[in-house]
Amino acid sequence: MDVLWLSRLQFGAATFFHFLFVPLTLGLSILIAIMETIYVRTGDEEYKEMAKFWGKLFLINFAIGVVTGITLEFQFGTNWSRYSRYVGDIFGSLLAIEASVAFFLESTFIAVWAFGWNKLSPKAHAVTIWLVAGASSLSAVWILIANAWMQHPVGYVIRNGRAELTDFVAVVTQSAAGHQIIHTVSGAYILAGFFVMGVSAYHLLRKQNTVFFTKSFRLALAFALIFAIVEVVQGHANGAKVAALQPTKLAAMESLWETKQSAPQYLFAIPDEKNERNLVEFGAIPGALSMLAYHDTQATVKGLKDFPADERPPVTLPFISFRIMVGLGFLFLALTLYGWFKRKDLEGNPGFLKVMLFAIPLPYIANEAGWMLAEVGRQPWVVYGVMKTSTAVSPISVPQVMTSLVAFILVYSLLGAAAFYLMATHARKGPEPYQVATETGGAENA
């Protein structure tokens, strides 16, 4: 394997791992902030205990998310130096803005929150977690603006042998960024909702701390339901966006080889990339792809064969990722809708609770699949239409990258195992014993 492939593997592995932790940070911080706000408003101590319990899981997750994020910033320079040199004028600025505007806020106030339970007034303490939650999502916004620029570069000119910024506002406000932000952040919020529901279901099935976990479950349910709706509605618009901006990605994620009028969508197919066809095609929905791409069942969709062979992305991975993501997206909507009608009697629906417990990994899979589609579907470009991934890699040696790749796999596996073990232990243990004045009453009366 050459430096390019090793670097791609390393970047993929490091990003995949980082992205296991980021979505939960984004969503859970908001849920905890809501819990603390309810506590401040009503004085119901149970919500304070909820914030503490979920907060502990949050901190374990946060620690890994933060340290693995440093890797990503380093890697643009270490492994993709030609990319950094070529687009740093734009891309580098966006990362620097993210650090100074959002990451500082998040990292500084998470410590205030963790160490400040007894030092701050409840109100001030709730403010700190809102700062963390806001900063986390703001951080995602800047990273996604940077990524959107790789997907659809705007506001630049090629000058002095590199891409130079000409219109900052265009970069920040382009619609590709807006779509990606809503899509990715909603996906993260759904994940956090399912995480809280799943862990709560575990305890509800065991009849432990039922009041505590019913409240947690219902809050997470409402949260996940809202964003499951947003995701399905916006996902459709996102499809049209891809069709307009990245026709090769669209053709790859549908494994469409021939240009077709009234193009169908296949529920299932086995792409045969070598022979530029599908071995098996099954479950055609007539005109569905034309509809998704152009809101018109009669529209013509360009097939892969009409693009130069060296500008086509891999097909199988985007095709599968897309189906997993969309299928799960609809499943999340169905589950949260069902849950919404059963929310008054969760304990009376052990079957549903069991499903929700085992559904914890599903949003993780959906988030990673979406990322896979976005990044693999963009290939062979690192910046769509501007720079190819193969020309972006650093002038480094195979042994260097091989060593770091092996080290990443080892260290990340160990950290992943430790984090999983720690989270599972604390999740199963449930909240520390606590006293509540009354089931629903205010702490002021206690």
Partner 1 sequence: MLESIWFILWGVLWAVYFMLDGFDLGIGTLMPFLAKTETEKRVMHRAMGPYWDGNEVWLITAGGVTFAAFPTTYAVMFSGLYSALMLILFALILRGVAIDFREKMDHPTWRKVWDICVVVGSFLPALLLGVAFANIFEGIPLDAEGIFQGNLFSLLNPYGLFGGVLFVAMFLLHGCLWLLVKTEGSVKEKAAALVNKLWLALAVIAVGFLIATWYATRLYDNYIQNPLMYVVPIILIPLIVVGALVMVRVYAGKGHWWSAWFASSALIVGVTLFGVAGLYPNLLPSSLNPAFSMTIYNSASSQLTLKIMLGVALTFVPVVIAYQAWVYNFFKDPVTEAEAEEAYY
CB of 145 to partner 1, least distance (A): 13
CB of 42 to partner 1, least distance (A): 24
Round to whole Å and give the CA distance between 315 and 257.
10
What is the SS3 assignment for 379? coil
Residue 388 found at the interface with partner 1 (CB under 8 A): no
Nearer to partner 1, 87 or 145 (CB): 87
Residue 337 found at the interface with partner 1 (CB under 8 A): no
What is the SS3 assignment for 260? strand
Binding residues for partner 1, rule CB under 8 A, total 67
Segment near partner 1 (CB under 8 A); pick from 63-71, 183-191, 313-321, 354-362: 63-71
Residue 5 found at the interface with partner 1 (CB under 8 A): no
Q: Which of 170, 211, 407, 446 binds partner 1 (CB under 8 A)?
A: 407
Residue 67 found at the interface with partner 1 (CB under 8 A): yes
Round to whole Å and give the CA distance between 386 and 353.
49
Closest CA to 128 of 111, 114, 109, 115: 109
CB of 179 to partner 1, least distance (A): 24
How far the first Cα of the chain sits from its last, in Å, is 67
Residue 74 found at the interface with partner 1 (CB under 8 A): yes
Task: Report yes or no: 141 and 127 within 8 Å, Cβ to Cβ.
Answer: no
Nearer to partner 1, 14 or 293 (CB): 14
Closest CA to 71 of 23, 13, 111: 13
Q: Which of 32, 60, 263, 326 binds partner 1 (CB under 8 A)?
A: 60
Nearer to partner 1, 63 or 240 (CB): 63
Segment near partner 1 (CB under 8 A); pick from 183-191, 211-219, 346-354, 419-427: 419-427
Query: Residue 51 has which token pair?
Result: 């914030």
Nearer to partner 1, 72 or 205 (CB): 72
Nearer to partner 1, 160 or 445 (CB): 160
Q: Which of 1, 5, 41, 100 binds partner 1 (CB under 8 A)?
A: 100
**Residues in region 426-445 near partner 1 by CB under 8 A:** 426
Nearer to partner 1, 351 or 395 (CB): 395
Name the DSSP class of 405.
H
Distances (CA, A) of 301 to 12, 15, 145, 157, 269: 30, 32, 28, 30, 18
Round to whole Å and give the CA distance between 224 and 291.
28
In sequence order, the β-bridge partners of residue 277 are 272
Task: Report yes or no: 158 and 77 within 8 Å, Cβ to Cβ.
Answer: no
Round to whole Å and give the CA distance between 440 and 446.
12
Nearer to partner 1, 77 or 327 (CB): 77
Round to whole Å and give the CA distance between 240 and 249.
12
Residue 68 found at the interface with partner 1 (CB under 8 A): yes
Q: Which of 4, 9, 114, 355 binds partner 1 (CB under 8 A)?
A: 114
With helix as H, strand as E and coil as C, how does 177-236 read? HHHHHHHHHHHHHHHHHHHHHHHHHHHHHCCCCHHHHHHHHHHHHHHHHHHHHHHHHHHH
Nearer to partner 1, 81 or 262 (CB): 81
Q: Which of 2, 5, 41, 111 binds partner 1 (CB under 8 A)?
A: 111
Residue 422 found at the interface with partner 1 (CB under 8 A): yes
- What residues contact 364, with CB distance under 8 A and at least 6 apart? 20, 23, 191
What's the chain's length in residues?
446
Segment near partner 1 (CB under 8 A); pick from 30-38, 67-75, 175-183, 207-215: 67-75
Number of Cβ within a 10 Å radius of residue 13? 15
Residue 232 found at the interface with partner 1 (CB under 8 A): no
Residue 158 found at the interface with partner 1 (CB under 8 A): no
Name the DSSP class of 343.
G
Q: Which of 104, 268, 340, 420 binds partner 1 (CB under 8 A)?
A: 104
177-208 core/surface letters (b: 16 or more CB in 10 A; e: else): bbbbbbbbbbbbbbbbbbbbbbbbbbbbbeee
For strand 277-285 and strand 265-272, is the pairing parallel, antiparallel, or unpaired?
Answer: antiparallel
Residue 237 found at the interface with partner 1 (CB under 8 A): no
CB of 182 to partner 1, least distance (A): 24
Residue 93 found at the interface with partner 1 (CB under 8 A): yes
Interface contacts to partner 1, rule CB under 8 A:
55-56, 59-60, 63-64, 66-68, 70-71, 73-74, 76-79, 81-82, 84-85, 87-93, 95-101, 103-105, 107-112, 114-116, 119, 159, 162, 164-166, 168, 394-396, 400, 403-404, 407, 411, 415, 418-419, 422, 426
